[in-house]
Amino acid sequence: MKTLKLPIEVQQELKQVSKVAGYLWQREWAERNAGNISMNLTSFFKKEDVQGIGEEVAFDFPKECAGFVIYITGTGCYLRDLVDMLEEVSCILYINEDATAYSIVWGGNRPNFGPTCELISHASIHLFNSIHHPENLAVVHTHPLELICMSHHELFDNEEELNRQIWMMCPEVKVFVPKGIHCTPYALSSTAALAEVTMDAFKTRNVSLWEKHGATATAPDVMKAWDFLDVANKGAKMLMMCWAAGFKPAGLSNEQLTELEQFT
C-alpha cells in the first residue's frame, strides 16, 4: 500500500501545531471540540507523492483549489489532543484535480474520522492566500475569551474605534498587530458565507473577529498566527480590565500610535 512520507519541513510544522494547540487549551480558548487549525502544504509535495492514497470523498471545493494539499484538524476532535495524538485527530488531505473530492493521505487514524466542518472556510482562505498572500500558509481559528466579549460590545459596530482602543493599551499591540482586527459580521459556521466574510477580513486586517463566535488569523506558520491572536486578545483583555476596575484607560495618544508605525 502506498504511504506518504512527510518531509522534515512538514514534520517541523506539525510539531508547531502541537505546541500551539497546547497554548490554546491552556488559555481556555479551545473548549471541547472548539477551534481548528490548517496549513497549505502544497508546496512541500509533488503530485505523484499524494495521488493514489486513500479513498476519495465527494466535496464541492472552489475549482481553483484543485491539487491543494492541506493539513487540517478533524471534526468533533479536541484541539488539546493535538499535543500527543496528532495522527488521530488531524490529517493531511489532497484535493483532486477536479476539485470535486478529497482523499486523506496522512493521519485521520480513528474511527469515523473526517476533516473539520469548517473545511470550506479553510480551503477558501488558503485559495485567497495563494493568490494575494502566498507567504501565508497557516490558518488558526479559536475562541479567545476577551475578543469574543468585545464582539458583543457596541464597539464592534465601529471597527476603527475598536482597533484604536485596543491598540492604545500598550505599544506591542500596535507593533505586532499592525493591521488590526476586522469586525466580521455573524455568519453560520461551516458555510460558504462565513468563508466569504473571512476572506474580506484578510484583505485589510491581521485578525478576523467572528461576531459572537471566535477569531481567526492567517500567517506564514501557525506560531505567527497564534501571535496575532495572542497579542490582539491581550489588548482586549487589558481594556476590559480597566473597564472592570471602573476607570477609562488613558491609553496611547493618536500621535504616539502614529509614531509606532515605523516599527510595523
Active site residues: 118
Strands 36-40 and 90-95: unpaired
Which residue type, as a one-letter code, is found at position 5?
K
- CA distances for 34 relative to 8, 20, 21, 234, angstroms: 29, 14, 11, 20
Strands 69-73 and 90-95: antiparallel
**Whole-angstrom Cα distance, residue 15 to residue 18?**
5
The Cβ-side half-sphere exposure at 148, using a 13 Å CA radius, reads 11
Q: At what angle do helices 119-132 and 192-201 cross, to 10 degrees?
A: 30
Chain position carrying cell 479536541: 78
